[in-house]
């Protein structure tokens, strides 16, 4: 297999947009091609993530639509749907296309538009990623899924609501430093703890927002990447799945798919969690960040809450997590999130992250979770 | 092709009448929640239906306060993951238990419920 590099990245501002998801993707993709100094005519395929376009935009076949709006209508295009991990799944498959030798230059990205519908509608559409017969019938929501995880984690490890709130405070602090973030406002523990309950014990400020946005990146084979100004190498890209039904998961305080995907990624790259300098992970809810830091091996099981409370995951801490502000503050346009996390880690490894730069970062990790914890992708990146 | 011994349709038809049914693997004896075609433990394709007691304890729970559009008029409502005596777990609505008295380890018993005209899993209180 050939080495693969990311040679260009582009992300829209996250938040509310009066444009279609295809337009949002196209802006990000044109920025990524310009960043790579790569003409669109050299793109040989598009791997695309979009989740609820069928509901919020009454739009299926979003892959070729996105390619057409970008202006590359004839390249082979496939849309991936693995709930909130969609564009990270697209990325993994695109890496395999380039590594195999089938293509030299491939575009990856995703976009989502949800703020054009009421919150009760988007809550319902997101719930379609849980089981229709067993879970949607009960009125289970995604905050509800992670509330079940939170209760189990609190019961098993003594994790507190204050420790979860510390994740939100930290990610909002980081988001202030990111011009593309949806929220650029510091909050306090009290802001989180006194916010309205959504699904006990999770409160409004434990939850990431609904967001519109797009993200894209350009992948290249080693030969092409050597001519690029600052390639960032893909050291590994791994996926894992788990039981669809929450009831079939033996221990709700853990996300086994994270543990399996991380183990596979570390094995591919020949490195371990101690070798990672910067992490962008899936903090769709504050408890999700705590459980992910444990599943990725950054902290022992049960120590994720303590790490958040002590500031070990802050910029300047032991291992900075979500310097972009994470899903919590940067925003979570679900089809774009995986690609956007990769764009952030690439920017960090180039040393171009400005006020939120992790000094001297050489290796980075991205982690994206889909739906009811049944899909996880983990990728690792390194600079020369 | 052999039809799975317990389809989703048959499971919920029986659940509506108060009977919970799991499936047991004829190869290794593993117990599972239907429907499954192959045993995730041994790969065999021989299932037999097994009645469940419906008795279990709460493994985790939440109270949904911001509900999807289709359930907005029902909020707040409790959802729990319940570990049944036989070893399998099911998600269900908890009914007839005050929301502020829910706890991990609380004993509950299966109760058939209908939510928006669809059969669903419910759990009510049980003496330990």
* Cα–Cα distance measured from residue B49 to residue A24, given in angstroms and rounded to the nearest whole number: 51
Q: How far is B43 from chain A (nearest CA, A)?
A: 16
Q: Examine the pLDDT at B61 and tell me if it is beyond 80.
A: yes
Residue A355: partners with Cβ closer than 8 Å, 6 or more residues away:
A177
Residue A225 to residues A6, A57, A87, Cα–Cα distance (Å): 8, 36, 22
| Same-domain check for residues A196 and A105 | no
Residues in A lying within 8 Å of B, measured between beta carbons: 118-121, 123-124, 127, 133-141, 143-144, 147-149, 151-152, 155, 196-202, 245-250, 252
pTM: 0.97
Map residue B9 onto helix, strand or coil: helix
Q: Return the beta strands (E) in chain A as ranges.
A: 4-11, 46-49, 77-80, 105-112, 197-199, 202-203, 213-221, 232-241, 278-280, 363-370, 375-382
| Same-domain check for residues A265 and A361 | yes
* Cα–Cα distance measured from residue A29 to residue A36, given in angstroms and rounded to the nearest whole number: 10
Per-residue confidence band for B3, with pLDDT thresholds at 50, 70 and 90: low
Q: Which of A86, A8, A87, A98 is nearest to A45 (CA)?
A: A98
- CATH number of the domain at A96, please: 3.40.47.10
**Does the annotation count A207 as an active-site position?**
no
Map residue B115 onto helix, strand or coil: strand
pLDDT of residue B4: 55
Q: Which of A158, A200, A208, A255 to mutate to test the interface with B (most CBs of B within 10 A)?
A: A200
pLDDT of residue B5: 76
Q: Which residues of chain A have pLDDT under 70?
A: none
**Does the annotation count A84 as an active-site position?**
yes
Q: Which of A84, A334, A47 is nearest to A214 (CA)?
A: A334
Q: Which chain A residue's Cα is nearest to B105?
A: A155
pLDDT of residue A249: 92
Radius of gyration (Cα) for chain A, nearest Å? 19
* Cα–Cα distance measured from residue A131 to residue A213, given in angstroms and rounded to the nearest whole number: 26
| Same-domain check for residues A48 and A172 | no
Domain count, chain A: 2
Q: How far is B77 from chain A (nearest CA, A)?
A: 9
| Same-domain check for residues A227 and A246 | no
Q: Say if A383 falls within a structural domain.
A: no
Q: What is the pLDDT of residues A64-118, one digit of tens each?
A: 999 999 999 999 999 999 999 999 999 999 999 999 999 999 999 999 999 999 9
Mean confidence (pLDDT) of chain A: 97
Residue in A135, A149, A245 closest to B33 by CB: A245
| Same-domain check for residues A42 and A175 | no
Chain B residues closer than 8 Å to A155 by CB = 60, 104
| Same-domain check for residues A161 and A247 | yes
Contact B61 A151 (CB under 8 A): yes
| Same-domain check for residues A143 and A272 | yes
Tokens of A221: 């084979």
Chain A residues closer than 8 Å to B92 by CB = 138
| Same-domain check for residues A62 and A163 | no
Map residue A318 onto helix, strand or coil: coil
Q: Output the CA torsion sign for A222, A224, A227, A230.
A: negative
- The domain in which residue A254 lies consists of 128-204+235-330+337-378
Is residue A48 within 8 Å of A339, Cβ to Cβ?
no
Determine phi and psi for A262, rounding to 5 degrees.
Answer: -65, -45
Q: How far is A278 from chain B (nearest CA, A)?
A: 32
Catalytic residue among A172, A282, A332, A367: A332
Per-residue confidence band for B128, with pLDDT thresholds at 50, 70 and 90: confident
Mean predicted confidence (pLDDT) in B68-90: 96
ipTM of the complex: 0.96
| Same-domain check for residues A110 and A147 | no
Pairing of strands A375-382, A363-370: antiparallel
Within 8-67 of B, beta carbons closer than 8 Å to A belong to: 8, 12, 33, 59-67
Chain B residues closer than 8 Å to A248 by CB = 33, 89
* Cα–Cα distance measured from residue A269 to residue A294, given in angstroms and rounded to the nearest whole number: 19
| Same-domain check for residues A139 and A257 | yes
| Same-domain check for residues A40 and A132 | no
Q: Say if A122 falls within a structural domain.
A: no
Percent of chain B with pLDDT over 90: 93
Each residue of A2-19: b (16+ CB within 10 Å) or e? ebbbbbbbbbbbbbbbeb
| Same-domain check for residues A140 and A111 | no
């Amino acid at each position: 297999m050939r080495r693969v590099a990311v040679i260009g990245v582009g992300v829209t501002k996250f938040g509310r947009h009066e444009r279609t998801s295809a337009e949002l993707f196209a802006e990000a993709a044109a920025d990524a091609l310009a960043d790579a100094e790569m003409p669109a005519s050299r793109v040989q395929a598009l791997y695309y993530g979009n989740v609820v376009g069928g509901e919020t935009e009454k739009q299926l076949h979003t892959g070729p639509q996105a390619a057409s709006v970008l202006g590359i209508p004839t390249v082979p295009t496939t849309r991936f749907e693995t709930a909130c991990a969609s564009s990270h799944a697209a990325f993994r498959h695109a890496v395999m296309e380039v590594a195999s030798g089938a293509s030299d230059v491939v575009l990856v990205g995703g976009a989502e538009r949800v703020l054009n519908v009421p919150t009760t509608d988007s809550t319902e559409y997101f719930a379609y990623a849980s089981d229709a017969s067993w879970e949607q019938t009960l009125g289970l929501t995604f905050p509800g899924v992670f509330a079940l995880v939170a209760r189990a984690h609190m019961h098993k490890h003594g994790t507190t609501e204050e420790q979860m709130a510390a994740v939100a405070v930290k990610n909002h602090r980081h988001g202030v430093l990111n011009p593309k973030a949806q929220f650029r406002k510091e909050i306090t523990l009290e802001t989180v703890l006194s916010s309205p309950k959504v699904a006990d014990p999770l409160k409004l400020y434990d939850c990431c927002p609904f967001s519109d946005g797009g993200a894209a990146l350009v992948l290249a084979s080693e030969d092409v990447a050597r001519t690029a100004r600052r390639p960032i190498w893909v050291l590994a890209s791994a996926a894992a799945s788990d039981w669809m039904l929450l009831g079939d998961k033996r221990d709700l305080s853990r996300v086994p798919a994270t543990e399996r995907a991380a183990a596979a990624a570390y094995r591919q790259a020949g490195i371990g969690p101690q070798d990672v300098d910067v992490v962008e992970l899936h903090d769709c809810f504050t408890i999700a960040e705590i459980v992910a830091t444990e599943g990725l091996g950054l902290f022992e099981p049960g120590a994720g809450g303590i790490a958040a409370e002590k500031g070990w995951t802050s910029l300047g801490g032991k291992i900075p997590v979500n310097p972009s502000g994470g899903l919590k503050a940067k925003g979570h346009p679900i089809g774009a999130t995986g690609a956007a996390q990769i764009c952030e880690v690439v920017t960090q490894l180039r040393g171009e992250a400005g006020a939120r730069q992790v000094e001297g970062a050489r290796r980075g990790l991205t982690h994206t979770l889909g739906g009811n914890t049944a899909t996880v992708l983990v990728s690792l990146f390194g600079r020369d | 092709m052999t039809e799975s011994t317990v389809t989703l349709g048959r499971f919920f038809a029986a659940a509506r009448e108060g009977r919970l049914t799991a499936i047991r693997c004829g190869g290794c004896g593993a117990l599972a929640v239907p429907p499954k075609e192959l045993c995730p433990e041994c790969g065999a394709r021989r299932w037999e239906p097994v009645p469940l007691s419906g008795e279990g304890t709460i493994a985790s729970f939440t109270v949904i306060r911001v509900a999807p559009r289709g359930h907005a008029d029902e909020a707040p409502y409790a959802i729990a993951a319940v570990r049944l005596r036989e070893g399998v777990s099911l998600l269900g609505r908890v009914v007839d238990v005050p929301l502020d008295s829910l706890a991990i380890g609380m004993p509950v018993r299966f109760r058939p419920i209908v939510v928006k005209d669809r059969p669903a899993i419910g759990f009510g209180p049980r003496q330990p």
